[in-house]
Structure 1
Amino acid sequence: MTFGKLLSLAGMAAVMMTGTAIAQDDNLQFAVVPKAMNNPFFDLARDGCMAKAEELGNVECIYIGPVEHETATQAQIITDLITQGVDGLAISVSDTAAATTLIDRAVEAGIAVITFDSDAPDSQRTAYVGTNNREFGTALGEMLLEVGPDGGSYGMISGGAAAPNLAERVDGVRSALEGSNWTEVPGSPTFSNDDSALAIQQAGDLRTANPDMNALVPVGGWPMFAPDGWRNFVDGFKDQVDSGEFALVVADTLPVQLELLEEGYAHALVGQRPYEMGEVAIETLMSIVNGEEVDEIIYTGVDRVTADNVEEFMN
C-alpha cells in the first residue's frame, strides 16, 4: 500500500503511524479517523491506538483526520482510505448521512469498519466503541442538579451541528432536567465546531444575551481546552462561580480540565475514556479481521468528577 493520496492531503490533514517506516506486507493497517486532529480529546484516542498496535506487533495504526472539524474533509479522507485498501477503519462520525454511505462502501469493499466516540447506527459498521452519549448527557444534567438544586436558567455549548453523539448529549441534558426548576435559555445550544476559541466566545455571547443565566453546560470540553481563555472568561464573574450562584458543569476530564477544576474554574466534570476507546478500537478491528464475533455496542464508561474526588483522577 502506498500513501500518496493520503499525503496529498497534507494541507488539511496529518498522518501518524507506528514505527519509523511504512508497514511490511504482512502487517495489518488500521486507520483511526477522528473528527478533528486539533482536538486534544482525540490525542488520547490516538495514544491508545498506537499503544495497542505496538503491543500487538503486526498492526500499524494510521491516525488521520481533518485538522479542524470539517465534515467534507473527513469524508474525503475516508474515501481515500477505502481506495488505498486499508484493513480496518475506526471512525468518529462527523456527519451521519455522509458517513453511513462511506461506511457501507468500505464494508462492501471488504474493509472491517467500526465507529468510535460518535456512531452511525444505521450503517453496516460492525460495532461502536465509546460512550453512551445519551447517558453521558444525562450525567451532565444530574451533576447540574447537584451543583444547583434550586434551579435557574442554563445554556449549552455543542460542537458540530450534524454530530450524532453531541445531539444525544444535548437530549440527555434536557431529559435529566425535565420537570426541575432549570430552564434552557434562548439560543442554546450554540455550535462551536469543536473550536476552543469559538466555544469561549459563544459562552460569553450566551451570558451577554441572557444576563440572568445561572449555569453553563458545554457538552464537550472545548472551551476548557484553551485554559487561559477559559480562565479569562470565568474571571469576569468568578465571585458568582465561587458562591455557587453560577454553575459550571463541563464534559470531559482531560488533564488541563482537572487542573482548572482544582483551581475553582468549574464545579463538576463528566469524563469519557478516550485512551481506552483507542485501545479497544484496535482490539475490536483485530477480532473482526480474525473472523471473531464482537459485541455491536461496546461502552467504555464515564467518570463524574468534583472538587471532592479530583485528586483521584490527577494521579
Structure 2
Amino acid sequence: MKTWLLTTCAAALVTTSLLAPGQAKAKTYDFAIVPKSLNNPYFDLARDGCMAEAKKLGNVKCTYTGPVTQDAAAEVQTVEDLITRGVSGIAISVADEGSIQRVIARARQSGIPVITFDADAPNSARQAYVGTDNATLGKTLAEQLIKAHPTPGSYAIISGGPAAQNLNLRVEGARAVLKAAGWTEVGGSPTFCNDDSALGMQQLNDLATANPGLSAVVMVGGWPLFTENAYTSFYQAHKAAIDGGKLTIVSADTLPAELDELKKGEVAALVGQQPYAMGAKAMQILLALAHGKTVAPIQYVGLDIVTKDNVAQFMTN
C-alpha cells in the first residue's frame, strides 16, 4: 500500500513538473467589452460573439457593460470602474475619441491591455482596433445608392454621435462618392441621433418634411430602421416615392428588422457589418495581449452588401 502511494505521488510530481508555468492551474481572464450604448441592438451581436468566444476559449470570461444610452462621459466612467475592478483587458467602442484617451492611457499604465472595436481612437494608447473599414463602408453605401438611383439628386445623411470617429469616416466616404457623381447634400445634414432609434426616426421624418424633393437618405447606422413599426409608417406615407424610385434609402447594418424591411421593399440596400465577429475577435486579441504577444494594430472584419436579389439568403443565415 505504501509503495503504491509513493509511486502515485511521484508520478503526480513528474506530471506537474512537465507542465508549462501556470498550466497546472490555468489562469482565468476577465475581459470587458464596452459598447457605446446598451440600448442599441447592433451591439447585442458583439456581446453574443464575445460570450461565445469566451466559452470556446474556456479560461476567459466576457463582461459586457457600458452606458444604457450613448453618453461619452458615462463610457469613460465605465472604463474607470473596470480599471478599479482590475479586469484583465478592455475592448471599447469609442463614443468620443477625445474624452476616452486619458482613461485608456490610465488603463495601460495599470497593466491592462486595451483595444477598440467597432469605433476606433487611433490617437490613443489603444493597442489594436478590430472592426469595419468605415471609410469603405460609407463609400459602399453611396455606390449602392447610385446603383438604385442613377440620376443625381439631393440627399441627406443620418448619423449617430458627432464625435464618433467610425461614423464620421462613413459620412466622409459617402460624401466623396456622391459629390463626384453630382449629388447635392441638403442643409442640416448630417443629423445626429446619438444612437437613439426614436430620435433617428424623428430626424428622418423631419428631413423628408423640410425637403419635399429629397431624392435619397443615407443612414450610416440603422437607427430609424430599428423602430420597425414607426419606420413602416414612414414608408407607407412615402410609398409612392419610394416604390417609384424617387426617394431611395440605403442603410448600414443587417439586423433582422432591417432585412425584413429590405425584403418588403422599404429600403433599397443594406451594407452590413459583422459585430458578432468583432466581439469574438476582441476576446482573441485581448488574450494574445495578456500573454505578451504582439498583434496587428488594425484588424478589419468584412462587409456584406444586401439587396432585394440576395436578402433571402441573409434571412436564413
Matched residue, 1:276:
277
Q: Give distance in 1, aligned partners of 2:98 and 2:87.
A: 22
SS in 1 for 2:180: coil
1:254 paired to 2:246: no
Quick one: structure 1 residues 220 and 187, their matched pair in 2 at CA, closer, same or farther if it must change by over 3 Å?
same
Matched residue, 2:105:
104
For residues 228-275 of structure 1, the C-alpha deviation after alignment (integer angstroms, 9 at most, x for no partner) is 011011111111111111101111111111011001110000110000
Q: Aligned runs of 1:30-41 on 2, under 5 Å?
A: 30-41=31-42
1:179 Cα deviation after fit: 2.1
- Could you list the structure 1 runs, at least 4 aligned residues long, displaced by more than 2 angstroms after superposition: none
Matched residue, 2:10:
none
For residues 270-295 of structure 1, the C-alpha deviation after alignment (integer angstroms, 9 at most, x for no partner) is 11000000000000101111112211
Alignment-mate amino acid for residue 70 of structure 2: H
- Does the 8 A contact of 2:254 with 2:270 survive in 1? yes
1:67 paired to 2:68: yes
Matched residue, 1:295:
296
SS in 2 for 1:178: helix
Q: Give distance in 2, aligned partners of 1:235 and 1:156.
A: 21
Percent identity over the alignment is 52
1:98 Cα deviation after fit: 1.2
User: What is the TM-score when the length of structure 2 is the normalising length?
Assistant: 0.90
Alignment-mate amino acid for residue 194 of structure 2: N
Larger % of strand: which?
1
1:101 Cα deviation after fit: 1.2
Q: Aligned runs of 1:179-194 on 2, under 5 Å?
A: 179-194=180-195
Alignment-mate amino acid for residue 86 of structure 1: V
1:115 paired to 2:116: yes
Matched residue, 2:235:
234
Alignment-mate amino acid for residue 48 of structure 1: G
- Give the total of aligned pairs: 292
Q: Give distance in 2, aligned partners of 1:156 and 1:218.
A: 6
1:221 paired to 2:212: no
Q: Aligned runs of 1:20-39 on 2, under 5 Å?
A: 26-39=27-40
Matched residue, 1:44:
45
Matched residue, 1:18:
none
Task: Return 5+ residue gaps in structure 1 as ranges.
Answer: 1-23
Q: Aligned runs of 1:77-226 on 2, under 5 Å?
A: 77-226=78-227
1:25 Cα deviation after fit: 9.5
- Does the 8 A contact of 2:31 with 2:63 survive in 1? yes
Q: Give distance in 2, aligned partners of 1:308 and 1:278.
A: 29
SS in 1 for 2:123: coil
Alignment-mate amino acid for residue 165 of structure 2: P
Bigger Cα Rg:
2
SS in 2 for 1:65: coil
- Does the 8 A contact of 2:26 with 2:59 survive in 1? no
Alignment-mate amino acid for residue 87 of structure 1: S
Q: Give distance in 1, aligned partners of 2:179 and 2:158.
A: 18
Q: Give distance in 2, aligned partners of 1:54 and 1:285.
A: 15
For residues 142-163 of structure 1, the C-alpha deviation after alignment (integer angstroms, 9 at most, x for no partner) is 1111111111100010001111
Matched residue, 2:54:
53
1:178 Cα deviation after fit: 2.1
Q: Give distance in 2, aligned partners of 1:120 and 1:92.
A: 9
Aligned-residue CA RMSD in angstroms? 1.1
User: What is the TM-score when the length of structure 1 is the normalising length?
Assistant: 0.91
Q: Give distance in 2, aligned partners of 1:148 and 1:260.
A: 18
Matched residue, 1:244:
245
